[in-house]
Amino acid sequence: MHRAGGRTRSGGPRRPARLRPRGSGPERTGALAGSAAAADSRAPERLQKMLARSGLASRREAEAWIRAGRVTVNGAVAALGTRVAPGDQVRLDGRPVRAREGPAARVYVCHRSPGEPLAGPGTVGAGGAAALQGSSAFEPRVALLERLPRRAGRRFIAVSPMPRIDGGLELVTSDGELAARLQRGVHALASEFGVRVRGELNDTQLQGILGGGLDSGARLVVERCEGAGGEGANRWYTLAVRGASGKQVRQLFERQGALVSRVLRTQLGPVALERSLGRGQFRELSEEELRALSAGR
C-alpha cells in the first residue's frame, strides 16, 4: 500500500498513478464484526436503526423523520424508539421501506481530486458508474458518489469528508448505521496528510504544529510533521496525526502563519491510497481492512 510521505521527482508527496476511470470492477464483500449477524437477525430493532441500515439516511436524519411524523409502522405514526420486526410494514411519506437483508452494506475508499464534488446538489442516492464527461471548466462534473455502483446502495454517506477545496482519501458507505459507528471511531484513528504551503516553515512554526493547538482550544495528537520536498515556491509537508479532520489540519497550519494551498489525505487508520488508485477511482474495502477499521487500528 502507498504510504504518505513518499516523494516524486519534483519533491512533492507521491500521488497514485493516473489510470482511466473505472466503475465497480471486481467487488469484494466484507463486513464489520457482527454486522452480517445483525442484518440477518430476526429480533426487533429500533426503527431509526432499521432506516439507517436501509441506506436511506443517517440515524440522526432518520430520527428527525420520526419526530416529524413522516414514518408509520403497520399504519400507525411511529414514535422515537419504536421497535420493528421482520414483517412489519414501515412507510416513509407513504412509501414502503424495506430493511436490507443479507450481507452488510459495502464500504468504499475513493480518491477524490481537489475541487471535485463528493455529492451533487440534492443527491439522495448513488448513480451509475459513468465517467467524468469532458474537461472544460464550464461543464458540470459528475459527483464522485454518483458514480458508485447502484446495486451497492441508494445513498452514500462519507465518513469525516475532506473540504471540497482539498481532496485525497474519502471513505463512504451506503449504511447509515455503519457510517455513524465509523464516524464515532475516527477520533481514535491515526491519519496522514500531505500539506502544501507557500515557502518553507521555520522551526517555530514546526514546533507550533507539533503542539497541535486549534482555535477552539482543543489539541490534536500530532505524531510528526516533516518536509516532503517541493517545487518552486511551494513546499510539501507530511503530517501524521490522530483523529484530525481535513479542516482541522488546514487550521493547524494556518494558525502558525502558513499559507496553505492544498491538503490531501493519504491515509485514514489502516486504509491508505495505493498508487494504482487514480484520481476519480474507487474500490471496495476488503474484509480484513474493515475488521482493522472497526478495531480502531
Distance CA 95, CA 57 (A): 15
Note the pLDDT of residue 126. Answer: 27
Residue percentage of the chain with pLDDT more than 70: 73
Domains (ranges, CATH) in the chain? 24-187+274-297 (3.30.70.580), 190-268 (3.30.2350.10)
Q: What is the mean pLDDT of residues 4-10?
A: 44
Q: Over 90: is that where the pLDDT of 138 sits?
A: no
On whether the CB atoms of residues 289 and 271 are closer than 8 A, the answer is: yes
Task: Render pLDDT for 74-130 as a digit per residue (tens, 0 to 9).
Answer: 999 999 989 998 888 999 999 888 765 544 568 899 999 998 888 765 333 322 222
Q: Over 70: is that where the pLDDT of 275 sits?
A: yes
pLDDT grade, residue 220 (50/70/90)?
Answer: very high
Note the pLDDT of residue 105. Answer: 62
Mean pLDDT value across the chain: 77
Residue type present at position 56: L
On whether the CB atoms of residues 286 and 28 are closer than 8 A, the answer is: yes
Q: Over 60: is that where the pLDDT of 2 sits?
A: no
Distance CA 204, CA 73 (A): 61
pLDDT grade, residue 150 (50/70/90)?
Answer: low
Q: Is the pTM of this model over 0.75?
A: no
CA distances from 163 to 196, 244, 247 (A): 15, 13, 7
- When mean pLDDT is compared across 133-142, 206-215, 285-294, the lowest value belongs to 133-142
Backbone angles phi and psi of 222, in degrees to 5 = -95, 120
On whether the CB atoms of residues 134 and 106 are closer than 8 A, the answer is: no
Distance CA 275, CA 221 (A): 27
Task: Render pLDDT for 19-51 as a digit per residue (tens, 0 to 9).
Answer: 333 333 333 333 333 333 334 445 788 888 888
Higher pLDDT, 39 or 154: 154
Distance CA 172, CA 89 (A): 29
Q: What is the mean pLDDT of residues 159-177?
A: 89
Select, from the ranges 45-59, 102-116, 135-149, 183-197, the one with the highest average predicted confidence (pLDDT).
183-197
Higher pLDDT, 287 or 72: 72
